[in-house]
Amino acid sequence: MDTDEISYKTLRKIQQTEGKSPMLTKIDSHFYNDLLDYMKNLDNRLEKELKSQKQMLLIDEIQNTNKIIRSIYEYREKKILLAAISKARGGRPDLKNLIDAERNLFDSALKLMIQSREQLLEGGQKDKRGKDDKNVETKKEESKIERKDNTNQIVMVTQNIPEFIGTDTKKYTLRAGDIISLPKNMSDMLLKRNVVKEIKRQQS
């Protein structure tokens, strides 16, 4: 989906489709980045608009669009968590339409369920036989999750950034000197705009 294609109509269509489907629907891999640019464009239009009537129309559009975006995200969030439950119980959920920006939610939820299952059902303690008998597939899944946990980048904000909606649909207002951990796709975009500087992680 190109940024130019995003509009109130297209977002409403995505919202309706996502609401009707029990499975994750297909969206562009850059959907949340495109949303960020779209909302920034609306904010810029509002700042430049001098006529009060048009300002009110733009404010309504921004508020309604934010509601639709949150609705789309919450539909997908619920399906992602249900998929994590299925995976934790040995199922094979369909993840073909899970995009990278959402993968951290799935992996984090799955990891937490696996840990909770072990702690509550096995008392948090395992004898050697229990460790040896641990399902190989679960070990591989945990290994992949550990790698995913480190995908966030830590950056320092180098100049004030007006309020915007991130790839997690949360509102951000960043000030020069702020240090924050952000999803890689979001921090990469800000790095390209030279408004943040990456802070290298110390090797443990």
CB 181 within 8 A of CB 152: yes
What's the predicted TM-score (pTM) here?
Answer: 0.59
What DSSP string describes 108-176?
HHHHHHHHHHHHHHHTT---HHHHHTS-HHHHHHHHHHHHHHT--EEEEE-S-EEEEE-TTS-EEEE-T
Single-letter code of the amino acid located at 117: R
pLDDT confidence band for 135 (50 / 70 / 90): low
Taking only the tens place, the pLDDT of each residue in 96-115 is 999 998 999 999 999 999 99
CB 152 within 8 A of CB 183: yes
Distance (Å, rounded) from C-alpha 84 to C-alpha 78? 10
Average pLDDT over residues 161-183: 78
| pLDDT beyond 70 at 133 | no
Residue-level pLDDT at 146: 46
Average pLDDT over residues 35-57: 91
Domains of the chain plus CATH, in order, are 1-148 (1.20.58.1030), 153-198 (3.40.5.50)
- Return the number of other C-beta atoms located less than 10 Å from residue 55's C-beta: 14
Q: Tell which residue, 159, 150, 156, 181, has the closest CA to residue 168.
A: 181
Residue-level pLDDT at 34: 92
| pLDDT beyond 90 at 140 | no
Residue-level pLDDT at 96: 94
Q: Tell which residue, 186, 129, 112, 124, has the closest CA to residue 155.
A: 186
**More confident call, 80 vs 124:** 80
Residue-level pLDDT at 35: 92
Residue-level pLDDT at 62: 93
Pick from 30-44, 69-83, 161-175: least confident: 161-175
| pLDDT beyond 90 at 164 | no
| pLDDT beyond 50 at 171 | yes
Question: How much of the chain exceeds pLDDT 70, in percent?
Answer: 81
